[in-house]
A and B are shown apart, each in its own frame.
Chain A
Amino acid sequence: MEFIAQHPVLVASLVKIVILLVILMTILAYLSWFERKIIAHIQSRWGPYYVGAHGLLQPLADGIKFLFKEDLTPPASDKLLYILAPFLALTLAMTTLALIPFGPATVSIFGHETHLVVANVDIGLLFLFAITSLGVYGVALAGWSSNSKYSLLGGLRSSAQMISYEVSLTLSVVGVLLLAGTFNFNELVTSQQGYYFHFIPRWRIGPQFVGFLCYFTAAIAETNRAPFDLPEGEQELVGGFHTEYSSFKFAMFFMAEYANMVTVSCLATILFLGGWLSPFPERWTFMQYLPVVSLLALAVYLAYDTAVNMRGLARFQLAVVTVLAGGLGLLCLLPAVMPVIQGPFWFTFKMGLLLFFYVWTRSTLPRLRYDQLMSFGWKLLLPVSLMNLAVTALWIVYPLLVKRG
């Protein structure tokens, strides 16, 4: 107890890390369900359906499957690096989320003033880029250490792609940085407060729309997702850099990919979509009931679905989900919880929208050819993001020059 009293920051951080990890793990698991379900519906299929109601227990089944599969290590591989690579990929992908603020700078939870972020770093954005720039190693080392031609080619392709698109990714963000004048995530969000005509939010996506497009395109390539998922182009490379991986090591690459998707969406939310800020003006106070109303509406719909469409075990499972959604909605009604939940609600909403966009692109666009990918990155995306940067810089400097005469 003495230790806790002496290091309040350390203990608070540890508690936050544990909460974040639990939430993140759940999100990562259910992101795969979300993706499979949405792609299936876009392509007129049902998607996961048999394990649990609406396939809701599918992630659990997948997890158990990964754990119990035989963990093969190719005999001619570089053992150390072969084991290190998936750990590197997953750790780096999850570390970045410690920097993301999910709510306003200070909220009071049971009387304690705290931040809804694990580490409020002054140069948060740079740190995030520092960590993600190391992410290439996971892929490159996995490809190299497997000692297989498919893996090596996949790893090479993938690292080349990640290096190429990292340039555009970073450049497209600099425009936002110029406008905000800070690296700190909290300040980046609060600098987007205010409204045009008293109701259109002043988010950076307005002045930086081109930047947003560049950022998101580059981000899709950076996370190796379709239509830029060449590193694992099944038709050419079997499984790309993770061809030789099996069991839980494969699952780790899988989770790292999803964690990267989450990070990239979080970053886009903070930089371009106003982070945790509500899209509605503050004078519309009734909007703070939106989280409650949406959760309760979900509960009502689920209750209807449970009663009408489900039979047997599935009915019981969906009833549990219904109670969870309804309970969460009622919990948000508590006066202690209501103000705290607003920020995370809008943050999650925007992030979910971007994740949906990710899945949407994957299910509709065909994969690019390798030369198309490279020429797109270097000859279109890079010049456009450079132009965006130049125009933004001129936009900022011009008034200063005029004033000086």
Chain B
Amino acid sequence: MSLLFVLFFVFASIAVIGAILLIVAREPIHSALSLIMVMVALAALYLLLGAPFIAAVQIIVYAGAIMVLFVFVIMLLNAGVEERTNWSKIAKFAGLPIGVFLLFELAHWLARSAIGKSIANGSEATNAAVSTRALSEMLFRKYLFPFEATSILILIAILGALVLAKRDE
């Protein structure tokens, strides 16, 4: 077993445990922290896949910026402890089986797909690190239009937030 293999399982299990804690935790701030745990573990997985830029950006943007705002809002609103419910009927009889079914289907098709086979064969196709230069050339040459369109989308969202936050006088 290679070191990378062991590391993959360590970070994958951290991510899964974090995701479970996120749902199970009753304090909103614990949930937020579990989500951060998931994001950092995911960043480590990106790193193992040879994408250090994506890993760093994942932490900077999600864990460092967006989740800070989450935590901030939770602190400001002082959200109390969540109430426990006994599963709703739909969740119990439809949601749970469908969820399990979808999970197995995903695993099944992944195992049969080309990526799954290449992983099973041990060929680590993605292990070559993608340089930031290559990434940015792709982003600013090949996908320039979607990139700019996204930025306009974000601008619109900011304007929307401004309009909503502005008080009527």
Task: Give Cα distance in the complex from A144 to B71, angstroms.
Answer: 10
- CB contacts (< 8 Å) of A137 on chain B: these are 33, 36, 68, 71
Q: Tell whether, in the assembled complex, residue B52 and residue A78 are in contact, meaning their CB atoms are under 8 Å apart.
A: no
Q: Given the known A-B contacts A78-B27, A130-B64, are A122 and B56 also in contact in the complex, defined by CB atoms under 8 Å?
A: no
Give Cα distance in the complex from A123 to B63, angstroms.
Answer: 18
Q: Is the interface of B mostly helix, strand, loop or mixed?
A: helix
Please name all residues of chain B whose beta carbon is closer than 8 Å to the beta carbon of A136 when the two chains form the complex.
Answer: 64, 68
How far is it, in angstroms, between the C-alpha of A137 and the C-alpha of B27 when the chains are bound? 16
Q: How far is the CB of B149 from chain A (nearest CB, A)?
A: 21
Contacting chain B: which of A155-163, A187-195, A310-318?
A: A155-163
A144 CA to B78 CA, complexed, in Å: 9
Query: Which residues, 106 to 123 on A, are CB-close (under 8 Å) to B?
Result: 121-123
In the complex with contacts A78-B27, A140-B68, A129-B56 CB distance below 8 A: yes
Interface size on A, residues (CB 8 A): 26
Is B107's CB within 8 Å of the partner chain A?
A: no
A126 engages B53 (CB within 8 Å): yes
Q: Any chain A CB within 8 A of the CB of B16?
A: no
Checking B29, B60, B75 against A133 with a beta-carbon cut-off of 8 angstroms, the contacting residue is: B60
Is chain A's interface secondary structure helix, strand, loop, or mixed overall?
A: helix
B55 contact set on A, CB distance < 8 A: 130
Q: Are B27 and A130 interface neighbours, CB within 8 A?
A: no
Q: Are A133 and B72 in contact (CB under 8 A)?
A: no
Interface pair A129/B60, CB less than 8 Å apart: yes
**CB–CB A130/B59 < 8 A:** yes
Q: Is B65 an interface residue (CB 8 A)?
A: yes
- Give Cα A127–Cα B59 distance, bound, in whole angstroms: 9
Is A320 among interface residues, defined by CB-CB distance under 8 A? no
Q: For the complex, what is the distance from the CA of A159 to the CA of B70, rounded to whole Å?
A: 12
| B68, A159: Cβ atoms closer than 8 Å | yes
Residue A152 lies at the interface, judged by CB distance under 8 Å to chain B: yes
Q: Are B129 and A130 in contact, with the CB atoms below 8 A?
A: no
Contact A140 B72 (CB under 8 A): yes
Query: What is the minimal beta-carbon distance from A81 to any residue of chain B, in angstroms?
Result: 7
The 6 closest A-B pairs by CB, nearest first: A133-B64, A130-B59, A126-B56, A130-B56, A144-B75, A130-B60
